[in-house]
Structure formats: C-alpha cells, structure tokens
Amino acid sequence: MVPIDTYSPARLGSAVLNKKECRMTDRLSIAIAQINPTVGDIAGNVALIEKYVTDAGALGADLVVTTELAVSGYPPEDLVLKPGFQDCIEIAVTELAKSLHDKNLPAALIGSPWRQDGKLYNAALLLDGGTIKHARLKHELPNYGVFDEKRVFEPGPLPGPIPFKGVRLGVMVCEDLWFPDVAECLQESGAEMLISLNGSPFDVDKVDVRLNIAIERVSETKLASFYVNQVGGQDELVFDGGSFVVNPDYTMVVRAPFWTEALMITEWHRSADGWVCATGHVQPSLSREENIYSAMILGLRDYVTKNGFPGIVIGLSGGIDSALSAAVAVDALGADKVLAVMMPSPYTSADSLEDAAAGAKMLGIRLEQVNIGPAMNAFDTMLAPLFESREPDITEENIQARARGLTLMALSNKLGHMVLTTGNKSEMSVGYATLYGDMCGGFSVLKDVYKTTVFALSRWRNANYPLSALGPDGMAMPERVITKPPSAELRPDQKDEDSLPAYDDLDAMLQAMIEGERSVDDIVKLGYDVDTVKRIWRLLDRAEYKRRQAPPGVKITGRAFGKDRRYPITNGFTKQI
C-alpha cells in the first residue's frame, strides 16, 4: 500500500514523518517537466519521464514534477479501465522508481492512474528512494464539457501534504485547484506550498482563466502555487503548456513556453513568511491569433505523427479555407509531407485555378490536378433514367462535392496519406457541407474555427511566422484568396452569402447560440431579424446528424462540436421555435 495522508483537523497534517523526512531544508530546486506524452504508450511515456528527470538532475534539481496522468497519457478514456493496462502501469511505475534511485537521480512527482484498495484513481505519485513513497488521489473529478473522469476514476479523499526533505508539499491534481476545498484542506493541514499536476486542454480563453484560478488559491491560502501543464495533441484536444509559478504576493515569477515541451528549474527558499520562488524566465503572453494557429499546428502534427501517417492529402480549391488548412499542414509537417489536389469542374473560375497554383508555389508543395468533369458526366448518365423530368438542383451540386471526396479518399488509400478536410465551424454549424463529399477525411484543423476567424488567421499568417512552423517565412497564400467573396463554385456565379447571412452576422448569431446558449428572443434583442435567427437556429439543430459523421478536429473554443456539445439528432424542440 502507498501512504495516503488524508486530512484530519486534529492532526493538522502532522502525518507520520520519519527522521529523514523531518530534516529541515531552507532551499529546494524543483523542476517543471512540461512534457508531451502519448496515450497508451506506457513504455514511451516512462522513458520520456526518465529522460526529463535525468536532464533535471544534471541541472541540480531536488524534485521533478510532471503533468497529470503522464504515465498513461491524458486523457486515456476507457483504455484505462482495462485490467491489463493497469497492470502494465503498475509494473512500469515500480521499475521507474527503482531506476531513478539506482541512477542516483532526483525524486519525481508523476501523474499516473493508480489502483488502491481495488479502486482506480487519478493520482500523483512521489517516487523517492527507489519506491513509490506517497500517493495523492485526485479529489475533484470533472464531468462536464470534454471531461468524463467520473466514468473511469473514483474520487480520492481530501488530502494531507506530502513530506519531502522536511517540506510539506500541498499536492493537487488539476481540477483540485479549481475549487477551494482541496487547497484549504492542504493549507489547514500544514502544507507550505501548492503543487498542481495538470492536463488542462486549450481553448482561446483558458490561459487567463487558469492563472486567475491559481491566484484565487494563493489569495485564500497565502501559499505559492506551482502549476505544471501538459503540452501536445490528443485526438480533438490540444494542450498548450504555459506552466507557471505564482508567489504568495500574487506575482507570476516563472512561466514556461507555450506549445512546446520544456524543462525549467525553479529555485525556492524559505523566508520569514514561508516558501517563495525566485524570479526566472516568464514567457510573454501570445496573441489570440497566434494561440489559435499554434493549436492547429500542434493538434495536426501530433494527430498525424502519433497515428503514423506518412503525410496528408488536401483538396486545394483556390478558396480561403483550403488555403489556410494547407498553410497549417505545411507549418505542422513540412512541405514534403503535403500533397495538394486541385479538382476543377465546369464551374471552377480561372481565379481559383490561379490562386490554388500560386498558393501551392508559396508553400512549396506538390500540386496535382484531377478534373471531375468526367465523373459528373458519368453520374448524369447513370442517374438520367431516375432523374428524368426533374430540374437540376442541389443534388447535382452535392455530386460534385462527392466526386471530389471520392478522389481524395482514393489517393489516401493508394498513398497512405490522411485526407485533411477544410470545412470551418460556421459551415458545420448550419450544415453547409456535403456528407461523403467535402466532409470526407480523417481530421480537420478548422472544425472549431468560425469563418470570421478564418479570415483573421489568414491575415495573421501572411504577416507572421508561427512558433515551431516548418513552412515559409513569409506569405503563405495569395492576398486575393483572402479578399475575394467566398464561394463553393458548384453552380454559375455562386456565392456563400446567396444562401447564408453575411459571415459577421452569422458567426455572431452562432456564437450566441452555441457558446452562449442564448435563446432566440435574447439573440433578437442583440439586433438581429427574428426570422433570420429562427432560420439559423433550425439549421444548427438539423445539421446535428451531419456533425455526428464529421472527422475529429482541433478544439479551439469553449464549446466545440463533439464532446463539448452533445445534442440529440431526433429533436422535436426545434419545431417549436
């Protein structure tokens, strides 16, 4: 059994400490191990942890703190319920503890699933002296948005501090920081600093929210807060790092880089008022556009590389969505791993052909052309007896999209490349997308990006070089791609706004409906026409069946389609609007 010191007011956390643990120290070097684990790769994750501990030891660290569930990868979902998976974790952690000791490496506080008394917990484990010396079990289990932890874990008891070198460490796991109870319990039971292991997914507003939550806990406990966050992509989630330390005076004295793995040594000393951290590197905040673009790069890069795809294939139409998606793909993977295909129809404009070619040249990617005219003619011939006496309509438009989808999937099958879809959140919200057509593919970087944000990101990318980008340092798409009116080009002179409100208005209404959960009446009060609002509301609900069949994509907003927003397909409430 691993020791778990739970809260007891009578004890004030003076849990049994042996003589070695009672030896006081006035200084500690604690390393931030901001790592990018892979879900399920237990051996790889343990090797990654040991590498970081080794590197931290060379820099003089006493203790290395990893991210939440670093051993299993986060989030492991139902994989963690497999008894064989749990067995492998216990063996790996036990061997890691012994290896660190045998190599005379620092102690490590690691995140891992852990069985205790026949129950499974989300735990922080202190590896020291060749053993798993202490465990702290996550008390607050999130069960909202993208989180389903109550499905797989048991909640732990309110914890007491962990003794380490005579210092009582107030250890928490992610959600424990978001509510005052755990921090209050730790402070009352004698903790001298707060240490939080996190797997906190990115969304555009999360950076400031995390910092504010940490400052709230500092304010309540008067203890410094040490916050370590995961980095990397896992299916639809992406983690931005940005680990930090906030002192008791509310000053942020350390912040790790965003969007990349990092090892940082933080230097602590005991003052008259308690433990404080010396000022170190503080990574500046990033702009909204840079954060979103970086999230798309890392989300796509990890999805492709962790799943072993050799590259991606993308339909390059000459429009802004495919141009931005291609730029992200090149920045994430490099030009040599991106194949672009232009698939013109009789309705494709000369401007689109020129813009696709110019964009491919700017990005340095291979561009092939496959004319779908013969496929359109073949379907016309095949279906003529059944379509007799019926005027052309959206059916023929969808056949074009499906011919393109079939072409891309055929190339994917033949080459092994994953198809990257290019639809944005505005289109997916109202169903302005074709099942088995432009929705075909394995992943989407624009799935949670509204059209107005697509324009903003395109302008930003043409003027800036993103973090960790592998693409060109300069413009990534022709200016005309950004300035011309968006069009699906499935019929003569077609424009998106023939079927939809102006994107500024559409996106504002959609954000009110999706992220804001506002009613029709509330949105009308914002100045929008009641019939238009009702129409968009109905389109949003009716397109749920399409979204259920869409590929995964990077979560950007606070309410992404999928785990964040789960609505029934069969929905009679829509008829009442």
Q: For 273, which DSSP code? A: T
Which of the pair, 293 or 484, is modelled with greater confidence?
Answer: 293
pLDDT at 562: 85
Residues 576, 230: Cα–Cα separation, whole Å? 44
Calculate mean pLDDT across residues 129-135. Answer: 95
Q: Residue 492: pLDDT above 80? A: no
- Residue-level pLDDT at 102: 96
pTM, full prediction? 0.92
Q: Is the pLDDT of residue 28 over 80?
A: yes
Q: Which CATH class is domain 289-494?
A: alpha beta
CATH 3.60.110.10 residue ranges for the chain: 29-279
Handedness of CA 170, 172, 178, 184 (dihedral sign): negative
pLDDT over 90 at 226, yes or no: yes
Closest CA to 36 of 372, 406, 298, 339: 298
* The architecture CATH gives domain 29-279: 4-Layer Sandwich (3.60)
174 is catalytic: yes
Mean pLDDT of 340-349: 93
Return the SS3 of 233: strand
- C-alpha 457/C-alpha 296 separation (Å) is 11
Q: Pick the catalytic residue: 133, 138, 306, 451?
A: 138
At 235-262, the pLDDT tens digits run 999 999 999 999 999 999 999 999 999 9
Q: Which residue has the tokens 């409100």?
A: 501
CA distances 512 to 46, 247, 518, Å, are: 44, 37, 5
Q: Which of 21, 140, 174, 175 is catalytic?
A: 174
Average pLDDT over residues 100-118: 96
Mean of the pLDDT values across residues 298-305? 97
What pLDDT, on a 0 to 100 scale, did the predictor assign at position 267?
Answer: 97
User: How distant, in Å, are the alpha carbons of 103, 160, 368, 444 from that of 343?
Assistant: 58, 63, 9, 19
Q: Is 68 annotated as catalytic?
A: yes
Among 333, 364, 362, which residue's Cα sits nearest to residue 480?
A: 362
Residue 412: its H or E element: helix 394-415
Question: Which pLDDT score is estimated for 14?
Answer: 37
**Where does the pLDDT of residue 12 fall: very low under 50, low under 70, confident under 90, or very high at 90 and above?**
very low
Task: Provide, rounded to the nearest whole percent, the portion of the chain with pLDDT above 90.
Answer: 85
Structure tokens at 23: 């030896």
pLDDT at 565: 85
Peptide bond into 466 cis (omega under 30): no
pLDDT class of 571 with cuts at 50, 70, 90: confident
Nearest-Å Rg of the Cα atoms of the chain is 27
Helix axes 320-333, 350-363, angle to 10 degrees: 10
What DSSP string describes 12-53? TT-----HHHH---SEEEEEEEE----TT-HHHHHHHHHHHH
Instruction: Write down the mean pLDDT value for the chain.
Output: 92
In this predicted model, what pLDDT tens digit does every residue of 48-59 receive, in sequence order? 999 999 999 999
Residue 112's SS3 state is strand
Q: Is the pLDDT of residue 503 over 90?
A: yes
| Chain segment 179-209, per-residue pLDDT in tens | 999 999 999 999 999 999 999 999 998 989 9
pLDDT category at 576 given cuts 50, 70, 90 is low
Domain with CATH 3.40.50.620 in the chain: 289-494
Range among 327-336, 347-356, 535-544, 559-568 rated most confident: 327-336
Q: What pLDDT, in 10s, does the model give residues 171-184?
A: 999 999 999 999 99
Q: Read off the tokens for 384.
A: 């003529």
Contact present, 231 and 256 (Cβ < 8 Å): no
Count Cβ atoms within 10 A of the Cβ of residue 279 and give its class: 0-12 exposed, 13-18 middle, 19 or more buried.
Answer: middle
For the cut 90, the answer to whether the pLDDT of residue 486 exceeds it is no
Q: What's the whole-number mean pLDDT along residues 84-102? A: 97
- Kindly report, residue by residue over 364-419, the tens digit of the pLDDT: 999 999 999 999 999 999 999 999 889 989 899 999 999 999 999 999 999 999 99
Confirm if 38 and 301 have CB atoms less than 8 A apart: no
pLDDT confidence band for 570 (50 / 70 / 90): confident
Given a cut of 70, whether residue 563 has pLDDT beyond it is yes
What is the mean predicted confidence (pLDDT) over 426-451? 94
Q: 510: pLDDT confidence band, cut at 50, 70 and 90?
A: very high
DSSP string, 414-473: HH-PEEEE---HHHHHHT-S-TTTTT-SSEESSTT--HHHHHHHHHHHHH---TT--S-S
How far apart CA 217 and CA 182 sit, in angstroms, is 10
**Which pLDDT does position 6 carry in this prediction?**
57
d(Cα 577, Cα 575) in Å, to the nearest integer? Answer: 6
What confidence tier does 220 reach under pLDDT thresholds 50, 70, 90? very high
- Judge whether residue 13 has pLDDT over 50: no
Could you confirm whether 525 is annotated as catalytic?
no
